[in-house]
Structure 1
Amino acid sequence: MVTALRVLQQDNWDEWYDNLIRAFGGAPESAEERALWRELTERDRSIGAWDGDRCVGTAGAFSFRLTVPGGAAVPAAGVTMVSVAATHRRRGLLTGMMRRQLDDVRSWGEPLAVLTASEPVIYGRFGYGTATHHVNAEIDTTRVRLTVPPGTDAVRLRYAKPADALDACEAVYAQLVPRRPGMVARIPGWEQLWLLDPESERDGASPLQCVLAERDGEVVGFVRFRIKGDWEAAGPKGTVVVSDLEALDAPAHAALWRFLFDLDLTSRIDARRRPLDEPWLHLVSDVRRCSLLVRDSLHLRLVDVGGALEARTYQAPVDVVFEVEDAFCPWNAGRWRLTGDAKGASCDRTTDAADLALSVRELGAAYLGGVSLAALGAAGLVREVRQGALAEAAVGFGSAVAPWLPHGF
């Protein structure tokens, strides 16, 4: 029987992490990857469930800052490394860890909790809604052509060793974080994740390569990728496996994608976890031959409804009273009046009549502007009490760019 939930201690990390690895199938990680995750684990924000002297459950929370509509970087607990030993299922262990964790997040004064789910079905019952999506693409570069905008030819590309280019790449990423909701400011040490390159995890592809995009001597974009060679009777059919690609403007973005399209001995680009509104989608000659697959990405929970709704701005004026249902975090339940616009917002308790009724899960899904409140209303998940309130709120909650989480955690 589980006897305790305890904050993770340094001496217990190996057993704690071994329980996590076993819960996700048991495939061993490289020594360098394990060492980096040991370093990145925030032990005072991580808990373990112990049955006697055995670790049977894990959960952690990184101290992230998440970009929200309006550009603010809001404190958010990055829920991670959640596992329950197969021997201890169906005993309420996960519920107990989620209860403890959300209580902790509230005590830390963080209005949001976010996660990426191994299985989307798990976290809805704890109030998490799917707030961002991404697209995976497999582009047939023998059949698809790319049209580039003016200025693309002025961008200079050059190869660089990934380690040597790391600071330049991180500087580009940092400039992009405030521009798009859902992006996470890098915690010191996290940049090292992009240099992990054990041969055992390349699936037959090359070592990691990096190309920088420059204009007037300044780095304005980069791509990190691998080449997976393959041949058939007719000739080469290698794949470009994109690790990540970021650019500060349209010409730099197009120059990097054109480079990937033109790589010798390849006939396909495999790009995963890309934004739903990425510009290259409008530059290709045949989007059907890009084999697009949309997937859920960031799951978000409002830990403090008032604080979270005040932290973002709204693209059109809103004045709406929400009746919020939140059985798991009852301090959020009840009526809240949100008043806001593009300059700021306030959100306070009220006894006024409700305009919209919904659960905290739907509020989390709509929070970053990527999921429409109107769409949730059409699904029967948001109830309109005052006629017209749903359309008004849906416009205000929207985002000019699709929210996007560039990487998992």
Structure 2
Amino acid sequence: MNMEPLNQKSLERIVSQKALQIGSSFPCQICVVGFLSGVCLTSLFLALLTSLGTFEFGGISFSAISQGNSPLNSSSSGFINTVANVDCRFKRNEVVAERGVDSKRSKDGTDDERVFLLHSAWSALLSESVDGKSAFWHRAGLDKSAVPNAPHLENCKLSGQKNERLDMRAENERLPPWTTWKGLLDTHPASMANEQLEYFRHQAISEGSYPPWITGSDEENYPLTRKVQRDIWLHQHPENCRDPNVRFLVADWERLPGFGIGAQLAGMCGLLAIAINEKRVLVTSYYNRADHDGCKGSYNSSWSCYFFPETSQECRDRAFELLGNKEALERGIITTKDSYKSKEIWTGRTPRVWGEPWRFLQPTTEMNGSLVAFHRKMDRRWWRAQAIRYLMRFQTQYMCGLMNIARNAAFGKEAARMVLTSLRTEWPKVLLILDLK
């Protein structure tokens, strides 16, 4: 009974020895090596045919003919990726002469490099406008003046100058030049040759045009928005801040750790309501979110680092002057946030100067599947919208720069691709593509 397994093991041993002898023979080894080499070369050739780029070998160029799934295993894919990476690194460090090739027809990745370069150039310009320095231009070998304009970015310097003009009274006038041209008409100098232009400008100002920071029709805004915004501006910008009848309320922004920007704005809306009800000019003081190196000089720790100040500089100077006057505090000429209870600030009385326009609000509050036409917080919702719109009426140049950086990060590459596609000539004419990534 034990003979059969023994004979079987002997037979297997003999077959294994014969196979070993055959496998160690030189002709067999040649066949095996040739077979494996053929498999590798075939896989490599198929990978090159199915790749997206163009591979050049021995003067013969193989172009991509398919975008289907590659039959390569993980080892072959790693090899192809290594070759592609070496080729990309080489291209990023060479000087590419101008090619009269439509960017939409390019398949070698150069257009992606040009898009990345233009987007980086815009980012460098924005960085300089905020931080004042950038090492990009020396590394890229580009001229700032040759960079195409960015359609998604705002000219912050020009915008700041225009807004500053719109936030100041015209000479001997009650209001700034808030014409239907948003102040642009006021930039034309007066002369005998344009007396008619001067007449229309003076008429538009004297008739009391509405604030230019309100856009859209009256139906697209809360009731009485244009009138309310104009009246708040007039209340916060008295003609003579040193008039004995002008009183002030000086208040810091909330700075407790648990208060976010929403709570800070809600608190300041309540203080502005108190100031209007008591016929005081609101002057804001310390703002913790502006307490950093980005807000320089007088803008540090101030709301005016991001948005135009809530009142004129003359009124601010007068208010802080009175703040150190004990008699002015005792007589109530000036008050502070500590002069009021917390309930007065957070749930105080909404100004009734303009009646009750919130009663005409379109219902937006839903309960049990039905819109509520009126509820107790409608007045607070309406007032906070008006107060925040006034406090954020104009961006400063610094805030405009921050918004440009955010826009460039969000849509900069898409904008760069559109600009490069629309250009009639190649940009730049001699392109030095560095490994900026």
Quickly name the TM-score band, shorter chain normalised: under 0.3
* Higher RCO, 1 vs 2 (CA within 8 Å, ≥6 residues apart): 2
With normalisation by structure 2, the TM-score equals 0.21
With normalisation by structure 1, the TM-score equals 0.23
Higher-Rg structure is 2
Q: Structure 1 or 2: larger helix share?
A: 2
Q: Structure 1 or 2: larger strand share?
A: 1
